[in-house]
Chains A and B, each alone.
Chain A
């Protein structure tokens, strides 16, 4: 059960942190329709996180719930990949990161529909439907910006150059995951990479974008080693619950 708890935290934290970063656009997006679109996607991700963290709390069996996990853990106990905690950057950075993550989530949720963990397979079916829309929306933007003006192309290429070294962590696996793969609960992250890369290459080609040559991939998020950005984000996100524990309305 400890493995399952760990694995569900990883899935849930990825989406909670990314959902929060997206929500920071609310009221600040370039146009009204996009403001609503980003808020919708953020709500989808936070909804997925809620389901996953609820399942995680059940697996842990210590009486915590999703709120306790979301609002009362310190950064060192968070298990998200570093890519999702990076500040939202400009609009190009946001859609590039959303596209790269959504393609990953699409493949991962498709595989997890076959998980032997009943809650997880049900959650995965929902995640898959939502990821299909996220890929469509973010992918469309990457194409528009990449194949757009000189400025939009430069911005999205800069975003890809910055993000690329964080993408490797999505496909890193470890003993915890391998044990769960053997028991049919988890899907192998490394096995998702070829399909992900093929999809990303296809969209990038049409958008006129290139992938940087760097081979080095950042890592550490799955073990609680995060960038300096997560602490600041959690300070904002958790402040209400920490100042008024148990507050509800």
Chain B
């Protein structure tokens, strides 16, 4: 059973569609969630994201995603999804000695 698979919340506000913003910091690190903006279309979402989140030297690349496209796990999923890994040390690759000079 799919159970409590959540899509993003129904937007109860009367504003333009909501978009989630992810900014990539300098150095090619993974994009990080910065917040959200309202916009009518993709181009203005990108511009709004740049204006609201990108003006203090935070990054080099921006992703915007319609919030409705985000599929998220719910708090009820936390147990079944994440617990089993914690108490099974044999599942984690921690018994290898990393050779000197190898960077993880």
Q: Which residues of A contact B (CB under 8 A)?
A: 31-34, 36-37, 40, 133, 136-137, 140, 144
Contacts and interface: CB of A to CB of B under 8 A. Distances in A.
Contacts of B39: 33
A137 B55 CA distance: 15
B15 A140 contact: no
A32 B35 CA distance: 14
A133 B16 CA distance: 23
Contact of B47 (A31, A32, A140): A140
A7 B50 CA distance: 33
Interface in B11-44: 15-16, 37-40, 43-44
Contacts of B48: 33-34, 37
B54 to A, nearest CB: 10
A99 to B, nearest CB: 14
A37 B48 CA distance: 7
A140 B48 CA distance: 12
B38 A140 contact: no
A40 B55 contact: yes
Contacts of B40: 144
Contacts of B51: 33, 36-37, 40
B15 A137 contact: no
Given A40-B51, A137-B47, 17 more contacts: A31-B15, A31-B16, A32-B38, A33-B37, A33-B39, A33-B51, A33-B52, A36-B51, A36-B52, A37-B47, A37-B51, A40-B55, A133-B50, A136-B47, A140-B43, A140-B44, A144-B44
